[in-house]
């Protein structure tokens, strides 16, 4: 659970734990052990690299909600927006431009640089 908290943050993990029911408790136990202990807890790759790999896979598979969650988590892993953008170029070539386009839009929303988001923010602050 420690690695999960370090990567996703206490707020996210506490919300996931609080929302756990008897129906999904085994699933929560499984992902905490398999993903966060058995994989993220290994020494073979550093956290920024694991974060980039996770983002690339989620983008390629079209898992937008999980991708956005891991974009936020990338702030805790040390993966930079520039590194994420480089990784998304690989998504475009190997998994398709639409998948990368969707991921780049989320990246711009999370880290800035999306003119649509910036226009809305300017309107709200006026």
Examine the domain organization and report whether 38 and 75 are in the same domain.
Answer: no
* pLDDT score of 122: 47
| Total structural domains within the chain | 2
Residues 30, 58 within the same domain? no
Say yes or no to pLDDT of 123 above 70.
Answer: no
The mean of the pLDDT values for the chain is 91
Residues 6 or more apart whose Cβ sits within 8 Å of residue 99: 59, 60, 62, 91, 92
Q: Which of 14, 29, 44 is the last residue of a domain?
A: 44
**Rounded CA separation 110/91 (Å):** 18
80 and 100 in one domain? Answer: yes
Mean pLDDT of 68-78: 96
For 76-112, how does the pLDDT look when each residue is reduced to its tens digit (9 = 90+)? 999 999 999 999 999 999 999 999 999 999 999 999 8
What pTM was estimated for this model as a whole? 0.85
Q: Are residues 68 and 115 in the same domain?
A: yes
């Amino acid at each position: 659970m420690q690695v999960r908290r370090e990567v996703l943050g206490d707020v996210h993990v506490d919300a996931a734990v609080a929302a756990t029911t008897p129906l999904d408790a085994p699933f929560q136990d499984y992902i905490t052990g398999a993903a966060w202990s058995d994989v993220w807890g290994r020494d073979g790759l550093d956290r920024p690299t694991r974060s980039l790999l996770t983002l690339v896979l989620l983008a390629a598979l079209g898992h937008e909600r999980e991708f956005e969650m891991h974009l936020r988590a990338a702030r805790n892993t040390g993966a930079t927006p520039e590194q994420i953008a480089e990784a998304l170029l690989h998504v475009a070539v190997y998994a398709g431009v639409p998948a990368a386009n969707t991921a780049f839009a989320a990246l711009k929303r999370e880290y800035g640089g999306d003119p649509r988001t910036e226009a809305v923010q300017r309107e709200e602050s006026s």
